[in-house]
Amino acid sequence: MSASPEAAEAQGKRAGRSEYGVVGLLAGLGVLVLVETQSISESMASARTLGPRVAPYFIGGLLLATAALLLVDLLRGGHGYQEEGEDVDLSHGTDWKTLAALAVLIAGCGQLIPHIGLPFAGSILFFGIIRLLGGHRLWLDVAVSLVVPWLAYLLFTQALGLYLPGGIF
């Protein structure tokens, strides 16, 4: 069942408008980052080094530059192409049940971090995401769920010296 050429043309015109929304989103986010960067206080110790404002200014500038370049491309007639992924069935809609389960899992694990620690909450999060997204090899799922969060925890706490809640450790 194909749509008439007039309907396809009208849908194409509407679809192109969303790209301008992306331009607005990028520009708004860039402005927000630049404005909020002003509230970061700098100490006298950072007088000879790069201060804490350098990275946010750089990122805000990149966001604005990206928005400007995308706007120029759109005004010249460029547009994005519909996803044609070889492993994605575009005829099916969004699986809202899985999406809601992922959102609940992420929020729940975020609430668990102060109580059981990052490595344990991360292991629960990884295992839940793997199973929700279709992992079928239980032992591999468990191994990945245990190894990745613990390695990340050890990297950040031991190698980088950052504090992360370890739970019982």
Q: What is the pLDDT of residues 22-36, one digit of tens each?
A: 999 999 999 999 999
Question: What is the predicted pLDDT for the residue at 101?
Answer: 95
Higher pLDDT, 139 or 162: 139
5 pLDDT tier (thresholds 50, 70, 90): low
Please check the confidence at residue 89 and state whether its pLDDT lies above 90.
no
Question: What is the predicted pLDDT for the residue at 97?
Answer: 93
CA distances from 100 to 70, 125, 129 (A): 32, 14, 12
Q: Which amino acid is at 138?
A: L
**pLDDT-wise least confident of 57-61, 91-95, 121-125:** 91-95
Higher pLDDT, 169 or 111: 111
Question: What is the predicted pLDDT for the residue at 47?
Answer: 62
Question: What is the predicted pLDDT for the residue at 108?
Answer: 94
Please check the confidence at residue 85 and state whether its pLDDT lies above 70.
no
46 pLDDT tier (thresholds 50, 70, 90): low
Query: What number of other Cβ atoms are within 10 A of residue 48's Cβ?
Result: 7
pTM: 0.55
Question: CA 96, 102, 104 angle in degrees (round to 5)?
Answer: 100
pLDDT digits (tens, 9 = 90+) for 91-104: 777 889 999 999 99
Average per-residue pLDDT for the chain: 84
In the block, tokens 């997204």 appear at 133
Report how far residue 110's alpha carbon sits from residue 113's, in angstroms, rounded to the nearest whole number. 6
Please check the confidence at residue 1 and state whether its pLDDT lies above 50.
no
